[in-house]
Structure 1
Amino acid sequence: MADGMSSFWGPVTSTTEWCEKNYAYSSYIAEFYNTISTIPSILLALIGLINALKQRFEKRFSVLHISNMILAIGSMLFHATLQHVQQQSDETPMVWEMLLYIYILYSPDWHYRSTMPTFLFLYGAAFAIVYSQIRFGIGFKVHYVILCLLCIPRMYKYYIHTKDVSAKRLAKLYVGTIILGSLCWLCDRVFCKEVSSWPINPQGHALWHVLMGFNSYFANMFLMFCRAQQLGWAPRVAHFMGLLPYVKIQKPKTK
């Protein structure tokens, strides 16, 4: 904690702290940079949601963008308070979000349409209840990594079956941001003692937040493109103000 700065939220009760001095700028924000770095994730998810609603994509994508926003807000609350309850508001939505990605990735080829969403919903609800009572520690990270790994084969299958160069670029941006973000996360965890002695802390975890905001956005756009292809909606990748890519579709006219 910074010298002379009191904590509005009281003692730290979370099971995890990051490589940033607590309450360095405000008594209301425990980890300042880790808190404000979630803002790009919220804005990118909002842009994705507006795009999905405006073009009338399937509701699953609206829910996906909303889940990205909920996760970012939960992360903001966690880093602002470093309280265990707020930690759950960050980590539980992480699991819910991955379950939603699993549904979007695998449901097109699932023969029994109601079984997958029912199972994933019950799994997510059970996890939330159990996790509210038990602190998993390293078990949470292992569980989350397993859910992420389940998505990789399907993402790769979508990539190799997509011929559009712009869509493939979205997938490459997704891979690039997750690799770079993971390096920032690892450096912040492993080399915290060394980094803390530098004149300027590069704020690796805050950079992770920013990169993962873009990572989620690129993943969502790629999945929206692939799903639009499956439905025959003639998708193409356009760019907002010549920079931010988004998926534009042309639905066939109904007779």
Structure 2
Amino acid sequence: MRSSIFILHVLVYTIFLHVVVDARATVASHSHPSNVKHFESNLDTNIGYWSPSTSSIDWCERNYVVTQYIAEFWNCISSFSMCILGAILFIRGLYNNVETRFLLSSLGFILVGLGSAYFHGTLTHLGQMADELPMVYSMIIWWFILYRMNEFKQIKNKLFVIDILLVFGIFYGLLWTYVHSLQTFVLIFQAHMGLMVLGAIIKLIYLYRQPYHHIYRIKYILIVYVGLLISAFVCWTIDQQLCERMNNISRFNPQLHAWWHVFGAFHCHLGIVCGEAMRLLSIKHRQHQIKNSRSPQQPFKPDDHLHIVYYLGLPYIDYSKEKQTNETKVQ
């Protein structure tokens, strides 16, 4: 618990001190960016409340069309889907007393949504930092969850190893914060996030192949999880490659970047639920090993220890029958 609270304090410190202070100091140098990435040959020159734009990228949606107070209306509104799903997971996590790591992951999910809404609503340099940096922080937390999926030792028993992982994650987050707030590398950031997401998917599939995780209910969630990411990526790509055609030829722009947000939100939701499911089975499997260490080994049946309920088509872990014990929790 203490290590998780420490991570949260560091992330909050990073967001509200390094990002705000550094970005505020560099806003003047970004007041007229010359290397802004656009997706149309004719630049969008609409003026609104947050003009001039100081971000290094301007997405396909036309600026200040719906209201002068929101630069990209649909991209901004769709970002709140991440906040809603993240808040539901966080509240359910508090109620069911899940491990702190999953609460942090849900909070990161919420921060990504808020940052995305801020970015698309303002198209400012600070908004871009509020969007992109929480994505990196969330992936660091997610990687910690994946690599500690089957770990049960307390911190005091493996202090050196745990400290190395925590220090590396914190250092990586701070380093990326400092560098990225000074120079918003569009392509480098996108490639960086792509590798982090792809690596996490490979790791999650590897964890699923372990016998005590290998059940149909998790397999179904994983298939939909990957399918949603592919759908989101297709929307993201088409929105960029066919931007000018959709804005000029057709009067109806499908706002595919907004759909990228929605598909991405459901994708992240399923990922966290899948992580919770695997972690619960890891804990139950460990308890089963301890219980049967001095008696004839009884086969572990993961289907008996995982209960999933669905609300409005979304899966959630049912902890009413399978409560995690304090002895097997790991910080």
TM-score by length of 1: 0.93
Q: 1:132 and 2:201 equivalent?
A: no
**Segments of 4+ moved more than 4 angstroms:** 252-255
1:107 paired residue number: 148
- Structure 1 CA distance for aligned equivalents of residues 54 and 306 of structure 2: 47
Q: 1:15 and 2:56 equivalent?
A: yes
Contact persistence 1:185–1:205 (CA under 8 A) = yes
- Give aligned-pair identity as a percent: 30
Q: In the TM superposition, what whole-angstrom CA distance separates every residue of 1:75-128 from its partner, at most 9, and x where no partner exists?
A: 000000011111010011111111111111012457722221221011101111
Contact persistence 2:98–2:324 (CA under 8 A) = no
1:80 paired residue number: 121
- Structure 2 CA distance for aligned equivalents of residues 172 and 225 of structure 1: 15
Q: 1:40 and 2:40 equivalent?
A: no
Q: 1:235 and 2:276 equivalent?
A: no
How many aligned residue pairs are there?
Answer: 253
TM-score by length of 2: 0.72
- Structure 1 CA distance for aligned equivalents of residues 235 and 80 of structure 2: 18
1:69 paired residue among 103, 110, 119: 110
1:205 paired residue number: 257
Aligned residues: CA RMSD: 2.1
1:179 paired residue number: 230
Distance change (3 Å), C-alpha of 1:39 and 1:166: same
- Structure 2 CA distance for aligned equivalents of residues 178 and 25 of structure 1: 28
- Structure 2 CA distance for aligned equivalents of residues 140 and 40 of structure 1: 23
Amino acid at match of 2:172: Y
Amino acid at match of 1:239: Y
Q: Which runs of 5+ in 1 are unaligned?
A: none
TM-superposed CA distance for 1:235, in Å, is 2.6
TM-superposed CA distance for 1:166, in Å, is 1.7
- Structure 2 CA distance for aligned equivalents of residues 32 and 251 of structure 1: 42
2:192 paired residue among 134, 143, 153: 143
